[in-house]
Amino acid sequence: MRFHIITIFPDIFDSYLNESIIGRAIKNKHISIKFYNPRDFIKTPQNNYRPVDDKPYGGGPGMVMRAEPILKAVESVLSKLKAKKLVKLKTIIFSPSGKKFTTLYAKQAAKKYTDIILISGRYEGIDARVKKIFKAEDISIGDYVLTGGELPAMVLLDSISRQIPGVLGKYESLEEERVSSSEVYTRPEILKYTPRGRGKKTKNYKVPKVLLSGNHKKIEEWKQRK
């Protein structure tokens, strides 16, 4: 899977993408990630930057990301893809009012596409004509408003990548397939904790007995319930 991320803040992604499972997926070439900064596509002949945003038509506070720099950034992705065979492309624009992103969406995307363009907005959002021109899908990662589409891009990238065969190790993939509870424990068996402050008593926090029972059927039932 090739991810093409359109963002005016590519540095935001660095540390997250280089660590752990996603870092390994890039090294092992299960995924590739390229950044396209709309700012780079609107330099004046004197090499000065033009603003990527402008005032909204119809008035109101905040600024809107101009269409042209983003169109150019996306076009540069498209021209690179032309040389490749069997490209199955999806273009996504982030918006808090878009279709809700889910694990099912991630699973289907991992199967269907070879390339995904993720367009991250900032300010009040992106000129709506970008969406029309590229027939992009509006996607939301949840019912809250963020300051930009960079976190949503990372969320999709992470969630779609872990659905690509080979990205999770053998053990982790098995984890995916079976029922796993969100209530988990590790050593010690009895955790002693004393809250700060005078006169506070030490309490013992125990691991649920069933998990120590060795009875696999009962343990599975417990996990299902959880």
- Phi and psi at 99, nearest 5°, equal -65, 140
Cα–Cα nearest to 3, from 126, 90, 111? 90
Examine residue 91 and tell whether it contacts ligand SAH (CB under 6 A).
no
Structure token pair of residue 81: 């893809």
| Distance of alpha carbon 226 from alpha carbon 221, whole angstroms | 9
Examine residue 56 and tell whether it contacts ligand SAH (CB under 6 A).
no
Residues in contact with ligand SAH, shown as a per-residue x/- string from 150 to 189 under the rule CB under 6 A:
--x-------------------------------------
Examine residue 94 and tell whether it contacts ligand SAH (CB under 6 A).
yes
| CB nearer to ligand SAH: pick between 155 and 219 | 155
Q: Binding site for S-adenosyl-L-methionine: what residues are annotated?
A: 121, 141-146
Q: What is the β-pairing status of strands 64-65 and 53-54?
A: antiparallel
Structure token pair of residue 217: 């059927």
SS3 41: helix
Examine residue 120 and tell whether it contacts ligand SAH (CB under 6 A).
yes
- Min CB(142)–ligand SAH separation in Å: 5
**Using CB under 6 A as the criterion, which residues of the chain lie in contact with ligand SAH when the complex forms?**
94-97, 120-122, 124-126, 140-142, 144-146, 148-149, 152
